[in-house]
């Protein structure tokens, strides 16, 4: 029988739980705080704004512009990180 996720089977038949390092806990906490701040920032900016897209312009809720910008930043960071790791 497989051990439940996050547990390592012990030699005595008991499952031992893995502990998180302080660095992992701090990183997780920081990401949660950052996610909450980004969400609050986006939700508080619901006004419609004029947006000049690559192909044309129009009006869109500011929250959509913020979310699209965030997603583009995440994708660009991901690909930049992959490219730098490939060069090593």
Asked if residue 58 is part of any domain, the answer here is yes
How confident is the model over 22-42, as pLDDT tens digits? 889 999 999 999 999 978 887
For residue 68, give the 3-state DSSP assignment. helix
How confident is the model over 70-80, as pLDDT tens digits? 899 999 999 99
Domain range for 37 is 22-87
Asked if residue 60 is part of any domain, the answer here is yes
Asked if residue 17 is part of any domain, the answer here is no
Give helix 62-87 / helix 22-43 axis angle, nearest 10°.
150
Q: How confident is the model at residue 14 (pLDDT cuts 50, 70, 90)?
A: low
Total domains in the chain come to: 1
Q: What is the pLDDT of residue 5?
A: 58
Asked if residue 42 is part of any domain, the answer here is yes
Residue pair 6/18 in contact (Cβ under 8 Å)? The answer is yes
Asked if residue 40 is part of any domain, the answer here is yes
Asked if residue 2 is part of any domain, the answer here is no
For residue 63, give the 3-state DSSP assignment. helix
Instruction: Share the mean pLDDT of the chain.
Output: 82
What pTM, to 2 d.p., does this model score?
0.51
Averaged pLDDT, 8-23: 65
Residue pair 46/62 in contact (Cβ under 8 Å)? The answer is yes
Exposure of 43 in the CB half-sphere (CA atoms within 13 A): 6
């Amino acid at each position: 029988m497989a051990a439940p996720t996050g547990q390592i089977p012990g030699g005595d038949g008991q499952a031992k739980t893995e502990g998180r390092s302080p660095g992992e806990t701090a990183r997780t906490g920081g990401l949660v705080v950052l996610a909450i701040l980004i969400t609050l920032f986006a939700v508080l900016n619901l006004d419609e704004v004029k947006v000049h897209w690559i192909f044309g312009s129009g009006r869109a809720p500011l929250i959509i512009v913020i979310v699209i910008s965030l997603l583009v930043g995440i994708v660009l960071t991901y690909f930049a990180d992959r490219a730098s790791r490939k060069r090593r």
